[in-house]
Amino acid sequence: MNPLSANHPRPYRGRLAPSPTGYLHLGHARTFWQAQVRARARGGTLVLRNEDLDAARFKMEFVGAMLEDLRWFGLAWSEGPDLGGPFAPYNQSERMDNYRAAMEQLRAGNFIYPCTCSRKDIQAATRAPHANDDDEPIYPGTCRQKSPSSIFHLPSAKFAWRFRVPDGEVISFTDGNLGGQNFIAGKDFGDFVVWRGDDVPAYQLACVVDDAAMRITEVVRGADLLVSTARQILLYRALAAPVPDFFHCELMRDEAGARLAKRHDALGLRTLRARGLSPAQLRSG
């Protein structure tokens, strides 16, 4: 348990936070199942949040399919886009004002800086290894020292906002499933985007803003997001919001050892259901 939440015991609130960018597979469903088991064991509340900010990959048909597949699997939530609730709206695309306000707060606190580097620039930079266990290359720091006004006056005017990580600081947390975790800022992950160049809040920011606003006390998610959790702890700190507890679930892998992705149709919930498998079989198997 992290010290902040231990000092402020709050009623348990967990969340399911799927992204409607494809059909859900068994890996997602098992992680969500754990979230539900943990919420029920504590007599807590489970919230469904639709993470639909990525307009390029998001498809409307996936939202309905997602809710249907989750219900079929046996999941039930008491607040969500379909039910409403005290922290509505539960679609991220309708919560832009909250993200903008948080961005302004980070900007006022000098935690972030504008960055004109494209993905290509970063990949081309010599010293850009990938962070452990996630796809984000470590930002080489090109725009860190530039004065923001020199960037605002550029004719192209397309820039992202990055969080300046405290280089060398060890970000530690005790995971409810995997135990003690330590990640070194600047080494295990670099300055990360909080607001994208196409004017969309990045996952890290939107997730922290919503988990804080929705009073989430424990985040249950896949172990592929461990490094993101370290990034997010820095955001909670910068926004002066209480840090929830974390429980990272082991990832499901296919026979070749690759992590399941939405493109693994064979393990898609829809495919398994069409093959006649029951939710109970899938949960235990």
Binding site for ligand GLU (CB under 6 A): 17-19, 51, 207, 221, 225
Q: Which is nearer to ligand GLU, 51 or 69 (CB)?
A: 51
b/e per residue 160-190 (b: at least 16 CB within 10 A): bbbbbbeeeeebebeeeeeeebebbbbebbb
CB of 166 to ligand GLU, least distance (A): 22
Q: Which is nearer to ligand GLU, 165 or 225 (CB)?
A: 225
**84 CB neighbour count, 10 Å cutoff:** 11
CB of 235 to ligand GLU, least distance (A): 12
Report which secondary-structure segment, H or E, holds 192: strand 192-195
CB of 21 to ligand GLU, least distance (A): 8
Q: Which is nearer to ligand GLU, 161 or 203 (CB)?
A: 203
Question: 181 near 233, Cβ under 8 Å?
Answer: no
CB of 124 to ligand GLU, least distance (A): 28
Q: Which is nearer to ligand GLU, 61 or 145 (CB)?
A: 61
Pick from 231, 258, 227: nearest CA to 243 = 231
- Residue that has been written with the tokens 């029920």 in this structure: 40
Q: Which is nearer to ligand GLU, 112 or 208 (CB)?
A: 208
Q: Which is nearer to ligand GLU, 157 or 258 (CB)?
A: 258
| d(C-alpha 235, C-alpha 229), whole Å | 10
The answer for 240, left when phi > 0, alpha when psi is -120 to 50, beta otherwise, is: left
Q: Which is nearer to ligand GLU, 111 or 246 (CB)?
A: 246
b/e per residue 1-11 (b: at least 16 CB within 10 A): ebeeeeeeeee
Output the CA–CA distances (angstroms, integers) from residue 62 to 22, 50, 67, 139, 261, in the order listed: 6, 11, 9, 32, 15
CB of 190 to ligand GLU, least distance (A): 20
User: HEC states along 42-98?
Assistant: CCCEEEECECCCCCCCCCHHHHHHHHHHHHHHCCCCCEECCCECCCCCCEHHHCHHH
CB of 222 to ligand GLU, least distance (A): 7
CB of 19 to ligand GLU, least distance (A): 4
